[in-house]
Amino acid sequence: MKTLIAANWKMHGQLAWTEKPAQFRALFPANANANSNDRVDILICPPAHMLQIMVAACAGLDISIGAQNCHDQTSGAYTGEMSAQMVAETGANHVILGHSERRAMFGDRDEVVAAKTSATLKAGLVPIVCVGENRGEREAGQAEEVVGAQLAASIPQHADGVSLVIAYEPVWAIGSGLVPTLEDIAIMHDHIRGCLITRFGAPVADNIQILYGGSLKPGNAKEILALKDVGGGLIGGAGLEMDSLAAIAMAAP
């Protein structure tokens, strides 16, 4: 399975940033290095106003574009919202769903995430479903239980697991510079894999990429991305600058 390196730009970005994909490719040429580059898929998730223009900017660069959210309805009186079909029309092919910032600030509870995931699948896009415990839950020894429950309720019942990416992002590690120990990441990813096997069966579950996110940086990427069930990274801060994003991509096994 290829490693997926996904940059989540959050609410950062302006039209001048359409230069970034070409800058990235200058630093990390596609298929130039048989040892690594052709084994890494690159995804950039810019703010909604840039989706279409970023798809155009990535033409011929082998970089995919994803959205950071979508609505669960196809169309209607939902001021300020964008449907999964609308995301698909821009040429983007992934949608990040249930990011902890959306869960904490915009009411994206598990049921909402499941409905959005369902809409994303229906639109032919790949959902990246985010899960992760907060600090209190980690300290209380409930991290695995919390993540297992989020997974169960955030993936819609009809999903077959064939088109699905999971991102494990401990809330306390996002934007904080704090990172779980390698052992804790490995334990959680193994737990998530187990949950997916229970849900979808081994052959399907084994092909689901499980990304790690939360203060992933050039300095820690190599050891984290080398862990057995870590299929890539979801990168916030370090994904805004192409030199650090390229350094992370370079660190992929």
Active-site residue, 71 included: no
Report whether 133 contacts 163 (CB < 8 A). no
Residues forming beta bridges with residue 34, ordered by sequence position? none
Active-site residue, 169 included: yes
- Which CB, 172 or 200, lies closer to ligand PGA? 172
Q: Any contact of residue 108 with ligand PGA (CB under 6 A)?
A: no
Q: Any contact of residue 66 with ligand PGA (CB under 6 A)?
A: no
- One residue of 29, 124, 175, 201 binding ligand PGA per CB under 6 A: 175
Q: Any contact of residue 237 with ligand PGA (CB under 6 A)?
A: yes
Minimum CB distance to ligand PGA, residue 79 (Å) = 26
Minimum CB distance to ligand PGA, residue 235 (Å) = 5
Q: Tell me the number of residues near ligand PGA by CB under 6 A.
A: 13
Distance between first and last Cα of the chain = 11
- One residue of 13, 170, 214, 231 binding ligand PGA per CB under 6 A: 214
Q: Any contact of residue 95 with ligand PGA (CB under 6 A)?
A: no
Q: Give the pair of three-digit tokens for residue 230.
A: 């870590």
User: Cα–Cα distance between 250 and 28 in angstroms, integer?
Assistant: 7
- One residue of 46, 213, 231, 232 binding ligand PGA per CB under 6 A: 213
User: Cα–Cα distance between 70 and 40 in angstroms, integer?
Assistant: 26
Pairing status of strand 94-97 against strand 63-67: parallel
- CB neighbours of 103 closer than 8 A, spacing ≥ 6? 109, 113, 130
Q: Which residues are known to be catalytic?
A: 99, 169
